[in-house]
């Protein structure tokens, strides 16, 4: 049985539709392989480096008992802000009260003996040498009485500076021994924030001119991504290099008038370094071979040439270059995988200003 012949009209329609589909696919493929070229640009950028840090109060001490005795009174509460000279604790000094009274009595007795000796000297009953001996005895007794009075005064524990009181380690009525820790006191009006800087970045910082150092902005990032509202500044660089970690300890100082920061907190230091007229290119325009970075540079004859670049900093979506290409060069931005060294290419040119806002991908 013979197959039914295909109508001539249907054959004509099929013949017309096939070239149309081929043309559509060719157009889509050509559109897909469109190469976009851009040029590096000299622009001002800001480099941000992040370091883990430890936050310390500028003064943080243990408040200790200076004498033995019973803890008679606690004049403060945990977490209270105190002023210099405020009384924190009162200790009943069992032995030192008795010692002071005894030395006071000895001083009174020596004073009476001196008075009596002077009255006898007026009557020529004793010599002036004996009077001088009684004067020396009185001076010694007074000195011992003053010492006992000072020791008795140590039972009043006072704040040596303004600060915040920490936990109370002893309760009222406890028997206190000399050097027992009663609480801690933190002066957190200014916070010292410590962080470690790698050797290379330390050397870079030390060779930076002072005016450029002053232009760097230092921020403190706290838990939950909260930024501390006040900027800091480098307060100190420690002398010793840590051979184990390859770092140098830095200290940044942050004013803390609202007492938001507390001793022992952690966070991250952010150092923002401005760069003037830095050469930048999109990361997407680069590719890597054996840990080296390259771009394709298109010459005036539309021929692509592979060129090695050296990056100095890496920012989101862009590289800041040391050398390799400049603003007068044209580099392949889109279609890097489809270009070969020495190949002539057709391309569309787009300025870098139009490309940067739409970056989402890094180097290939």
Ranges of each domain in the chain? 34-44+277-358, 48-57+188-275, 66-184
* Tokens 């040439």 found at: 305
Which H helix or E strand runs over 298? Answer: strand 292-298
Dihedral (CA of 352, 354, 360, 364) sign: negative
pLDDT in tens, the chain (364 residues): 444 454 544 444 444 444 444 444 444 444 445 799 999 999 999 999 999 999 999 999 999 988 788 898 999 999 999 999 999 998 887 677 778 888 899 989 988 988 888 888 888 877 888 888 888 988 998 998 988 887 777 778 999 999 999 999 999 989 888 889 999 999 999 999 999 999 999 999 999 888 888 889 999 999 999 999 999 999 999 999 999 999 999 999 999 999 999 999 999 999 999 999 999 999 999 999 988 999 999 999 999 999 999 998 888 889 999 999 999 999 999 989 989 999 999 999 999 988 887 766 555 5
CATH 2.40.30.170 fits 48-57+188-275, yes or no: yes
Reported CATH class of domain 34-44+277-358: mainly beta
- Whole-number CA gyration radius for the chain: 41
104, exposed or middle or buried, with CB in 10 Å at 0-12, 13-18, 19+?
middle
Alpha helices, DSSP H, located in 123-182: 128-153
Furthest CA-CA distance within the chain: 170
The CATH fold assigned to 66-184 is OB fold (Dihydrolipoamide Acetyltransferase, E2P) (2.40.50)
Contacts of 45 (CB under 8 A, 6+ apart): 274, 275, 278, 280, 315, 318, 320
Task: Give the number of other Cβ atoms within 10 Å of residue 68's Cβ.
Answer: 18
Pairwise CA distance, residues 83 & 186, whole Å: 11
């Amino acid at each position: 049985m013979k197959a039914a012949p295909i109508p001539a009209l249907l054959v004509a329609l099929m013949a017309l539709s096939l070239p149309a589909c081929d043309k559509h696919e060719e157009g889509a493929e050509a559109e897909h392989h469109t190469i976009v070229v851009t040029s590096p640009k000299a622009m001002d950028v800001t480099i941000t480096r992040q370091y883990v840090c430890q936050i310390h109060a500028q003064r943080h001490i243990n408040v200790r008992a200076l004498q033995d005795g019973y803890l008679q009174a606690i004049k403060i509460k945990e977490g209270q802000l105190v002023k210099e000279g405020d009384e924190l604790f009162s200790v009943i000094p069992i032995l030192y009260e008795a010692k002071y009274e005894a030395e006071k009595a000895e001083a009174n007795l020596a004073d009476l003996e001196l008075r009596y000796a002077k009255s006898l000297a007026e009557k020529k009953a004793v010599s002036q040498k004996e009077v001088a001996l009684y004067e020396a005895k009185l001076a010694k007794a007074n000195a011992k009485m003053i010492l006992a009075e000072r020791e008795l005064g140590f039972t009043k524990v006072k704040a040596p500076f303004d600060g915040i009181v920490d936990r109370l380690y002893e309760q009222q009525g406890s028997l206190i021994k000399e050097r027992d820790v009663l609480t801690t006191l933190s002066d957190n009006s200014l916070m010292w924030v410590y962080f470690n800087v790698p050797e290379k970045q330390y050397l870079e910082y030390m060779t930076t001119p002072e005016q450029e150092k002053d232009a760097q902005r230092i921020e403190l990032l706290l838990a939950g991504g909260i930024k501390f509202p006040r900027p800091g500044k480098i307060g100190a660089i420690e002398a010793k290099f840590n051979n184990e970690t390859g770092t140098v300890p830095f200290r940044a100082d942050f004013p803390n008038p609202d007492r938001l920061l507390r001793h022992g907190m952690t966070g991250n230091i952010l150092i923002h370094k401005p760069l003037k007229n830095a050469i930048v290119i999109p990361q997407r325009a680069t590719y890597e071979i054996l840990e080296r970075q390259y771009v394709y540079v298109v010459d005036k004859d539309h021929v692509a040439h592979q060129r090695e670049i050296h990056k100095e900093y890496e920012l989101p979506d862009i590289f800041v270059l040391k050398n390799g290409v400049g603003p007068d060069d044209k580099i392949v931005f889109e279609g890097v995988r489809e270009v070969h060294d020495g190949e002539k290419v057709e391309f569309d040119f787009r300025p870098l200003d139009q490309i940067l806002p739409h970056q989402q991908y890094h180097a290939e």
